[in-house]
Amino acid sequence: MLTTLVLAVALNAAELPYQDLERYYWDCDTMFMKGELGGQDTWSCLAVTDEFQKHFATRDDFMIYWHERRMQQWESRGYYPPLDFI
């Protein structure tokens, strides 16, 4: 479960520096992939994700960014996807 700090961050996501927003985005993405995201955490992470994606010109740009970084970001948070996902 996300901390109340992350909930507060989600409520003010538009004011976060890019590096912080990026870190929270990957924390949320990893929790989702691990199946650990639920309840209020989902809404907080949706707010973070929505704000983070605004930093990309297009959805395709975001997807390229995500695809290039996902494995390293997940692994740094202790998640290793099944081989059939890769």
Spatial neighbors of 30 by CB under 8 A, at least 6 apart, are 73, 74, 77, 78, 79
Spatial neighbors of 55 by CB under 8 A, at least 6 apart, are 18, 21
- Give pLDDT tens digits for 18-52: 998 999 999 999 999 999 988 888 888 888 999 99
Band of residue 86 on the pLDDT scale cut at 50, 70, 90:
low
